Structure formats: structure tokens, C-alpha cells
Amino acid sequence: INISIFPPSNACIGRYILNMQITSCGHTYQRCLGDFYVLFNPWCADDPVYMDNQAHREEYVLNEHGILYEGVYKHITSRPWHFGQFEDGILDICLKILDMGASYHHGSDRDHCWRNDPVHVSMVVNHMISSHTSNSITKIPENNDYLKGTKPFSWNGSVPILQQWYNGGCRPVRYGYCGSLASVMCTVMRCLGIPSRVVTNFCFPCSIENSLSVSEIFDNTGKNLCGKDKLWRYHCWNESWMARRDLNQCCGDWQCLDPTPLEKGRGNSCSGPTWVRSIREGELDLDYDGHHMFSRVNSSYVGWLSQNDAKKTKFSCDPWPCGQRLITKSVGSEQFEDITRAYKYELGSMKNKEAYYRAYRRIHPGFCNASNSHIERELSSLKNPFLSDSGINMRLKMANCPMYGEDVQLHWLLENLRGENKTLKFNLCAQIITYSGSPMDQFWKESVTVMLGPREVKRIPLCISYSLYGPYLCDHNIMKVVAISDPECGEVLMVSRDIVINRPPVIVKLLSQPRLKVPCTAEISFCNPLQEDMKNCVMTLEGCGLFKEPMTIDLGTLASNQQARTIVEFTPYRLGSHRLLANLGCHKF
């Protein structure tokens, strides 16, 4: 007997058991024919996750290969990620996540009625990724301390994280970061049939006191001090495609979901789903956490100089707006797609201003009846003065693209905009900054006096040697270089530059074409570029359809300029597009 099952589009997702009742000769008995799974269906026009573009369905539902974008807005880096939503056992793990998170929002899961609504399903998954419950999937290290777990940046894919959580009695996996959290959520959502993608936002504000501004505090040497606010260099979250019945949407659209728990003034919590279009329009009353998501792409930057008498003053600078660039992997391509205009209109445009005023009135009730000009005056009073207002233009320009082991070369460009001589004393410094904006060690300081003639443009070369920054960089491959004028010379001028130090590449070369159930070999090579030994070198390999479990290779110690080559053999166990991912860790990173 061939049995076809046509579940309705509003059926609850999950695992079902199919029984057949047979009556024969006056006797009735049941036979279990097996079980089957019901998932959301983006190919069905009646389903709330319906997506009408086949290329988009292939990218956002079927593609197991992803790319995470990191770095800073002027130097975007990328690394591959294995979502693995079709690996053995992942679907059962995803349903287990729904079981464990069922009490969130609902108290009881006896009727499973919420499981046909992608909004509630996404909220449960979002909550389960990294909430502070004992059953969350991952934990984020406190104070960048991850000695009791796995380095957050060493993961290559979602599958080992989900398997470790499931096999470990549903205890949190130590540790993750925003990129791995958003990627794990993307895996779960795609596995359940909800189109999803990972988005990276550069210059991401995390402010507790003022939801539309973020502050950074510096001392007179240029050192970034640890304050309440943090300006993340980048932050990853998830977007999922669905029609929001709670918002009376008849067609699907992107909804923003952030599984990273952030401080909001009422404790740590995750955000979303938030309709992306409502963020752009400033319609914050429509949605969950709308004002938080709006502030994350529209906050203003305020820089302060803290002096010895505990007095804080604003300095002159040319700050970039927060949320200045949002990107995601392009459909069917290895390149990124800039989706900034989906979140905000062009900066300075009339639509951008109207959306901002609309949001400002909702976030600050005291301005609910204020005119646009009143709000504009309030905003202007909070901003830092521009460098050009003081008659000076400055910027730091990279002269090279440094890799581990190489010196950092910069050009400090200064221009006198006035017809008179200027003599200024500057303090320069360099400091390690984590991706989440936490200031670390200050490893370089210098003072210099600059004399500029009328309308003169001067270029000053700067060099920061590897011997200075190498001992401090560790896993945090971002440094901040600052030039700030001495307060005794009058108004304070500041220019800064975030610099990414590229990690040395790991070369992966397939020596034969992968074929199903046929042994295949690959060559993994790496060269130590440092003028010192690299200790405790460990290579982690993961391959979609190639390895059922990650492979770890202990390389020991690599001498300076030593080339390490490793041949690995594997047998592809399923059809599909294959990609071998390699990640090298050592005492340096």
C-alpha cells in the first residue's frame, strides 16, 4: 500500500507517528506504519514562510555552505561556515530544542498549538540559542575568559555545537560568540523549513543608558577607557523570512532575530522577531524590540576626553554613524550583498530624517509632541564638533594590509584649513580592542609636535612593529590607533583608525575529485610567517558530506618560516556540494 499524506499548511511542525487501524473478522487492531516529520514549506504558497523565488529558496533553505563576515567596516574579512542542516540527526536535535524551549512564552506545551506559527517558533529558537537558562545551546565567555571551554572563534560549523549540546544532556556548550550564535540559529531555522540568513552589522552600539547614542571615553594619551557603553566593531544576527499574521502581513518578508543576549537595562535578553521594514520606517510600535533594533543601526557616536579631575569634555572628531554597513552572503555567490538600505534610508535624506524623528518620539516620550526642529536641536547638542570646525582635517590611512608577523604601516594626514600657522602637540597610542568593543592592553605610546603652515597638507608616516603588538594580540586581531591633541593646547582634536591583522592562510587542496563512498585525499598546508616558534598548533578539519565528525590534527610546534603539510584521507558519505574547512589554532591565536 502506498500512502500519501497532505498535511494542511497550518499543521504544527514536528515528528508524527502514523498508525493504521485494521478491522477484520470482527477484530480491530492497530499497526504502527512508522513516523514522519512535518516542517514549514517555503515552496507552498499557503504557508506563512512561502518564498516565491527559487534561487532564494536554494540559498536560504537548501544551501549548507555559508560565509561569516567580520573585521571592521573599512576592512571586511570573511570565513566559511558549515550550516549542516541536512546532516544526520540534526532534525531531531532541532525538534529537541523546541521541546526544551516550549515553556518560553507558553508555560505548557501540552497542545503544541504554537508550533504552526513561525513567529512563536522563531522566538523559542532565539531564546534557546544563548539565554541564561541551564538548557541553552551555547554560552558566551564572561570577560573574554574561555579557558574552561572551546575558543569561540575555533568553530567551523553548527553541527559540532548542536551535537555537543544534545549528547551532553542539553547543557550549554562553552563557548560561542555572536557569529556562531547567529549561524547555529540559521541552521535550526533552515532545518525547520524557515528561510534564513546571517547578517553582519558594522559599528554596532551597545548602550544601557541612552538607546540612541553610544559613548566612548578616552584619556589624554588616547587610551580607550572601559565605560558602560560598548561600540562593537561588528555584530552578527539572523534574518528569517515569514509572513507575520500578528502584523496582518499577507506576504513574507525578512524579520530580524538576534540570539545574542545583550544588556537592555532590564537584564540580558534576545531580540526579535522584528520586521526589518519597520526598522527602516521608524515604526517602533509595531513589533517586538523595535526600538532596540532601530537604535542598533541609527545611534549617534559621542566621544569624551576624561581628564585627571574627573571632568569629561567632548573632543572634535569626524565620527562614522553606527550601523553604517550591513551585509550578508549574496544569493548563489561567494560575494557579499550590501543590505544597508533595507534597514535605513540614505543618511541625510528626507525619508531618513522622517523615520528618525518618528522613532525618536516613540523612544523619548518627552518629545512625543515636539517639532522636528526641536528634535534636531536636541540631537545637535549631543554631537561632537567636527574637525573642520577647528580648522584642521585629519585622517589615518593604511599603507599596507598587515598579516600576523608584519609591521603596521600608516600615513597620518593633516591639513590646515586656515590661513595662519598652527602648532599642535599630539599624543599617539595603539591598543588592542575586542570585536565587542572591550578595550584591552595599550602597547604603544608616543608624543609628537606638529607644525602646519597656512593651508599646508602634511603626511607623517607611522610604523608599529610586530614586536610591539605581537605579544598582546592573541585571538583579538583588531587594534585601535589614536592621535589626540594635548588639552593644554586648546580644543581637543582626535582621529582614530581600527586595524585588522589578518591571520596567515591555511591552504586546502583536494588531490582527487570527491565521489560517493570512494576514498579521497586532500593536502592541508600552512607556513609559520612569524620570526618565532608557533606552539601548540592544532588543525581542526570539518567537511560537509566528507567527515561525520570534525577531525583534529596536532601539529605541535612550528619553527619560524616552517612549512607544515598534512595529507588527510576521507570517504564522502553523501551526495551534494562538498567543502573542506580548516581552522588552525596555536598559542598566538
Indicate which residues carry an active-site annotation.
178, 235, 258
Which cell goes with 538?
A: 592544532
Per DSSP, what are the bridge partners of residue 14?
A: 38
Dihedral over Cα of 160, 161, 166, 167: its sign: positive
Residue labelled with grid coordinates 598582546 = 472
Question: Going by DSSP bridges, is the β-strand pair 27-38/408-416 parallel, antiparallel, or unpaired?
Answer: unpaired
Would you say 502 and 77 are in contact if contact means Cβ atoms under 8 Å apart? yes
Which cell goes with 140?
A: 558566551
Dihedral over Cα of 373, 374, 379, 380: its sign: positive
Phi, psi (deg, nearest 5) at residue 373: -65, -35
Would you say 319 and 303 are in contact if contact means Cβ atoms under 8 Å apart? yes
Distance (Å, rounded) from C-alpha 469 to C-alpha 443? Answer: 6
Question: Which regions of 9-93 does DSSP assign to beta strands (E)?
Answer: 14-24, 27-38, 65-72, 75-82
Distance (Å, rounded) from C-alpha 422 to C-alpha 424? Answer: 6
Closest CA to 241 of 313, 178, 165, 331: 331
CA 581 to chain centroid, in Å, comes to: 19
Which cell goes with 403?
A: 598579516
